[in-house]
Amino acid sequence: MIAQIALRDAIARLNDHAIASAPRDARVLLSYAMGIDPSRLTLELSQTLDQDVLDRFQNVIDQRCAHKPVSRILGYRDFWGRRFRITADVLDPRGDTETLVQAVVTQPATRVLDLGTGSGILAVTLAAEWPAAQVVASDISPDALDVARHNAQALGVQDRVSCVQSDWFDQIDGRYDLIVSNPPYITDREMAELQPDVLHFDPKIALTPGGDGLHPYRVISAQAAAFLNAGGRIAVEIGWQQGPVVAELFRAAGFRDVAVLTDLDGKDRVVVANWP
């Protein structure tokens, strides 16, 4: 079969399964099946596909029709200019999380703590951006920590990223210049409304703490001061409706210069604060 015909048929199938990004996804997955960079696909559409390539393409299209995200099919997510491995054990990082990196990256820190690191997306990115930084990446899941270790090694920062299994601060020692976190924050009500791409493929423990979604912020705001140096900073990702209440939690805990930052869509996405 000619590649262009296979692409046309795949887009039609994805549209039939209500995949909103059908054309883009089909092109990425065809490039993957053909083993070429997506930027070259247009030049290769006149090719006749070998049967193994066609079978591989049909397989990944089948997975996408079942609403498996493209990043999970490929096994990686590009973030802040770097490629991170992801597995079923970790949250698939979204571009919105780059708002947190943007909020802190211009003020390098020497000691950094990433709570609930998952794939290590924040810990590894900050270690890579700040060559002098020592970063502790913590998570309650040992399987997630294995992914974080892989990403730290793949990106050459394994000597400066330490992975610690911990339920928030339970196993954390020392003090830090910066604490970051993208904790689970989706409410019970919102869980019922999630798209299948998220609901069926991201680990529940990385999505929601249950209830009103605010439990992690209550823990972090109450305990962070004991782990921050004087003048230390904290930055946490939030749900788009949680800005005012999370900001107030940090103010009530004694933090100053508390601010709510928005993402590229203008939605509340990050709360930052300073410890006196």
Helices and strands, number each (H, E), in the chain: 13, 9
Question: What percentage of the chain carries pLDDT values higher than 90?
Answer: 100
Q: What is the pTM of this model?
A: 0.95
Q: Identify the pLDDT of residue 22.
A: 98
Question: pLDDT digits over 126-178, tens only?
Answer: 999 999 999 999 999 999 999 999 999 999 999 999 999 999 999 999 999 99
Alpha carbon distances (Å) from 144 to 90, 251, 260: 6, 31, 28
Alpha carbon distances (Å) from 23 to 67, 76, 196, 232, 242: 15, 20, 19, 46, 34
Question: pLDDT digits over 67-85, tens only?
Answer: 999 999 999 999 999 999 9
Mean pLDDT (the chain, rounded): 97
Alpha helices, DSSP H only, in 106-253? 121-129, 142-154, 188-191, 196-199, 204-207, 215-223, 243-252
Q: Identify the pLDDT of residue 130.
A: 98
Question: pLDDT digits over 28-41, tens only?
Answer: 999 999 999 999 99
